[in-house]
């Protein structure tokens, strides 16, 4: 009897151990690979100053406009703001007014720490994830944040949110409330190890204050959220004002120490780049990130800077460098031939433009993950990459596979004849020929004409230089400058031939790559697959990335994807931005430590000069 009881007890203990392993462990944080860098007792992030003074007002300036306060839908243009990299597409609402279950740690590639969610739980295979809410969490109207709000938000974004949200959240097999404050997401069959983190970044909206039937309509009515600020004023298209919520529930959390230091944040919007810059010089807003090296070198010699009341700073970060491209819309017949796309890429004279316009400060990569370990540029494919690419012969050029491919280098004269000959030869192979001064389709005689869509004078200047180069090859480019609203409306609807765009990547690419490059996203309006890429090889590399369980597997999958994209000539690489250039009035201060992701404006504060 005693032996039988012992065996029963051992079996029960073993079953309990198996059950505990299957259920995972409660944790304060979750990392994409490995373990979080900070333990549960951390006091604050290293790039935040917990002693930063509170109070005052931050005025931001943004080049653009807005016509909606809902950043979670396709329709409308939400208000943008200067935010930390990779945060909520830099809109002014997410994170400040509406909070997510967890927040990023900006000193790690992809690790989340608890915010609305006090704990997170998942298993080794990430077949589920459970979030338990902080009992103190409250919306700005005083209503507790509940598990019902979490499930409601998930369903709302899954059914009516932006295309990426619909894609991500539809992978959840089931969501159920567990106990009083917890929600368990069943991820069975998703084969997506990033999905628990994607759900961790999900914004939570109040069920009692949202009408699902009208959620997809643009609105200037402020959303109710649980964040440190509330929307206090809106001048449509011109400015938005956020004021501190004095009853903010999360002010003392470790993830918030040193953050949200201003009593008020106002964002002013400017339509013209010149008036935008002049407004900064006059002190109408406090800080600006500069993206034009010409202006950075020549346009900041004004009295306030000479007197030390304005400072210029350069910040380095460990992210893949932001890159600017001209994207071909391959849905258009004129750009369906890869030889045409390669030819037009040859005709962008980076060396002349960098020397004469950009003071030699830009670099050109051609990689979609520029200057990081994830980039395939200049690196021969290893065994892991070759195994991933083996089922797709022809998807990657031989010179891209062996790491010898690079964007063309001109003689910097602006009239490189060797590159012109190479481009015309490719165009001839694609069925075009020069007749007089015009390039025409050999079969139909139809001239080679397309429109290039831009949204600012700076973009227009660059586009006109490129159009001049193409005109030498007989190609006519109609550069179309439109306002920010029309630009975004046409871009998300894929109503363009070629469009000016920018790619920002993280050190931990994941589900967003489906939104950028997948066949499914090619016909999904609102996605960022502006090019219309439909590549089985790209789809497979994205799938391999989502299944990767180690850093070497992640790097191999991303490099393989990079090779597929480079080989397809889907965009003309213009330049990569090496650093963050910031000009600020000295009444605005920031922590001494810069995060791995670069500047974090949410940690700034105001002081007297």
Mean pLDDT of the region 532-548: 96
Q: Which of 249, 275, 273 is nearest to 260 (CA)?
A: 249
The angle formed by the CA atoms of residues 352, 355 and 358, to the nearest 5 degrees, is 110
CA distance 172 to 183: 12
Kindly tell me if the per-residue pLDDT of 423 is higher than 60: yes
Query: By the 8 A CB rule, do 553 and 384 touch?
Result: yes
Residues 6+ apart with CB under 8 A from 602: 83, 84, 95, 96, 259, 260
Q: Which of 514, 547, 573, 402 is nearest to 164 (CA)?
A: 514
| Residue matched to tokens 């938005």 | 240
* pLDDT score recorded for residue 87: 55
CA distance 377 to 370: 8
CA distance 574 to 364: 7
Provide the 8-state DSSP code for 80.
Answer: B
Q: What are the phi and psi torsion angles at 227 (to 5°)?
A: -80, 180
Q: What are the phi and psi torsion angles at 400 (to 5°)?
A: -75, -40
CA distance 137 to 98: 12
CA distance 375 to 17: 42
Kindly tell me if the per-residue pLDDT of 8 is higher than 70: no
* pLDDT score recorded for residue 89: 56
Kindly tell me if the per-residue pLDDT of 248 is higher than 90: yes
Give residue-wise pLDDT tens across range 351-401.
Answer: 999 999 999 999 998 999 999 999 999 999 999 999 999 999 999 999 999
CA distance 423 to 426: 5
Instruction: Break the chain down into helix, strand, coil percent, rounded to 5.
Output: 30, 20, 45
Residue 44 — very low, low, confident or very high, per pLDDT cuts 50/70/90? very high
Mean pLDDT of the region 194-216: 97
Residue 348 — very low, low, confident or very high, per pLDDT cuts 50/70/90? very high
How many helices (H) does the chain have, and how many strands (E)? 18, 24
Query: By the 8 A CB rule, do 353 and 537 touch?
Result: no
Partnered with residue 103 across adjacent β-strands are 113
The angle formed by the CA atoms of residues 416, 418 and 422, to the nearest 5 degrees, is 120
* pLDDT score recorded for residue 9: 42
Query: By the 8 A CB rule, do 529 and 331 touch?
Result: no
The token pair at 594 is: 């810069």
Residues 6+ apart with CB under 8 A from 174: 185, 186
Query: By the 8 A CB rule, do 347 and 326 touch?
Result: no
CA distance 297 to 302: 12
Kindly tell me if the per-residue pLDDT of 2 is higher than 50: no
CA distance 247 to 228: 9
Residue 555 — very low, low, confident or very high, per pLDDT cuts 50/70/90? very high
Provide the 8-state DSSP code for 601.
Answer: G
* pLDDT score recorded for residue 365: 87
- Contacts for 90-93 with beta carbons within 8 Å, 24 or more apart? 92/240, 92/242, 92/267, 93/69, 93/223, 93/225, 93/231
* pLDDT score recorded for residue 191: 86
Residues 6+ apart with CB under 8 A from 532: 329, 330, 331, 494, 522, 523
The token pair at 434 is: 């020069």
Q: Is 111 helix (H, G, I), strand (E, B) or coil?
A: strand
Phi-psi region of 290 (alpha: psi -120 to 50; beta: other; left: phi over 0): beta
CA distance 115 to 105: 12
The angle formed by the CA atoms of residues 492, 506 and 64, to the nearest 5 degrees, is 40
Burial zone of 446 (CB within 10 Å; 0-12 exposed, 13-18 middle, 19+ buried): exposed
Give residue-wise pLDDT tens across range 84-109.
Answer: 875 545 899 999 999 999 999 999 99
CA distance 355 to 608: 40
Kindly tell me if the per-residue pLDDT of 422 is higher than 70: yes
Residue ranges and CATH numbers for the domains of the chain are: 323-576 (3.10.105.10)
Q: What mean pLDDT is reported for the chain? A: 93
Kindly tell me if the per-residue pLDDT of 526 is higher than 90: no
| Residue matched to tokens 């065996």 | 7
CA distance 145 to 256: 18
Give residue-wise pLDDT tens across range 597-607.
Answer: 999 999 999 99
Mean pLDDT of the region 533-543: 97
Give residue-wise pLDDT tens across range 130-184.
Answer: 999 999 999 999 999 999 999 999 999 999 999 889 989 999 999 999 989 999 9
145 or 578: which leads in pLDDT = 145
């Amino acid at each position: 009897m005693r032996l039988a009881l012992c065996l029963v007890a051992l079996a029960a203990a073993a079953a309990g151990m198996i059950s505990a392993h299957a259920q995972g462990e409660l944790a304060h944080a979750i990392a994409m690979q490995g373990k979080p860098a900070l333990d549960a007792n951390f006091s604050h992030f290293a790039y935040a100053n917990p002693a930063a003074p509170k109070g005052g007002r931050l005025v931001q300036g943004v080049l653009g406009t807005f016509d909606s306060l809902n950043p979670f839908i396709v329709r409308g243009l939400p208000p943008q703001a200067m935010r930390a990299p990779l945060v909520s597409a830099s809109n002014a609402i997410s994170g400040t007014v509406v909070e997510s279950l967890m927040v990023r740690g900006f000193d790690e590639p992809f690790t989340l720490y608890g915010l609305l969610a006090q704990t997170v739980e998942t298993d080794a295979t990430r077949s589920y994830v459970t979030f338990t809410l902080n009992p103190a969490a409250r919306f700005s109207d005083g209503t507790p944040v509940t598990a019902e709000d979490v499930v409601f938000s998930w369903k709302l974004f899954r059914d009516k949110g932006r295309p990426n949200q619909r894609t991500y959240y539809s992978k959840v097999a089931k969501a159920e409330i567990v106990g009083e404050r917890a929600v368990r997401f069943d991820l069975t069959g998703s084969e997506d190890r990033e999905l628990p983190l994607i759900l961790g970044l999900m914004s939570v909206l109040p069920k009692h204050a949202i009408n699902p039937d009208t959620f997809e309509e643009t609105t200037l009515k402020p959303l109710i959220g649980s964040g440190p600020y509330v929307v206090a004023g809106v001048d449509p298209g011109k400015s938005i004002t956020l004021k501190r919520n004095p009853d903010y529930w999360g002010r003392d959390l470790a993830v918030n120490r040193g953050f949200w230091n201003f009593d008020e944040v106002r964002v002013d919007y400017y339509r013209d780049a010149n008036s935008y810059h002049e407004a900064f010089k006059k002190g109408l807003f406090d800080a600006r990130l500069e993206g034009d090296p010409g202006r950075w070198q020549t346009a900041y010699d004004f009295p306030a800077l000479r007197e030390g009341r304005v400072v210029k700073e350069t910040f380095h970060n460990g992210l893949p460098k932001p890159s600017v491209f001209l994207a071909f819309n391959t849905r258009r017949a004129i750009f369906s031939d890869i030889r045409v796309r390669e030819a037009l890429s040859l005709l962008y004279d980076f060396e002349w433009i960098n020397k004469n316009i950009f003071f030699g400060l830009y670099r050109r990569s051609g990689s979609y993950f520029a200057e990081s370990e994830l980039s395939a540029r200049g690196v021969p494919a290893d065994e892991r990459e070759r195994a991933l690419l083996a089922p797709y012969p022809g998807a990657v050029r031989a010179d891209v596979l062996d790491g010898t491919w690079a964007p063309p280098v001109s003689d910097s004269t602006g009239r490189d004849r060797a590159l012109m000959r190479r481009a015309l030869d490719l165009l001839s192979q694609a069925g075009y020929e020069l007749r007089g001064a015009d390039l025409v389709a050999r079969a139909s005689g139809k001239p080679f004409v397309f429109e290039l869509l831009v949204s600012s004078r700076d973009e227009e200047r660059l586009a006109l230089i490129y159009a001049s180069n193409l005109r030498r090859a007989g190609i006519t480019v109609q550069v179309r400058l439109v306002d920010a609203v029309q630009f975004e409306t046409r871009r998300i609807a894929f109503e363009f031939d070629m469009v000016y765009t920018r790619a920002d990547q993280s050190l931990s690419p994941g589900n967003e790559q489906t939104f950028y490059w997948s066949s499914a996203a090619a016909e999904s309006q609102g996605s960022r697959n502006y090019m219309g890429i439909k590549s089985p090889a790209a789809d497979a590399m994205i799938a391999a990335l989502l299944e990767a369980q180690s850093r070497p597997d992640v790097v191999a999958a991303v490099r393989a994807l990079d090779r597929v994209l480079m080989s397809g000539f889907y965009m003309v690489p213009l330049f990569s931005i090496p650093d963050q250039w910031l000009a600020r009035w000295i009444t605005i201060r920031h922590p001494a430590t810069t995060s791995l992701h670069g500047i974090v404006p949410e940690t700034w504060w105001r002081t007297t000069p």
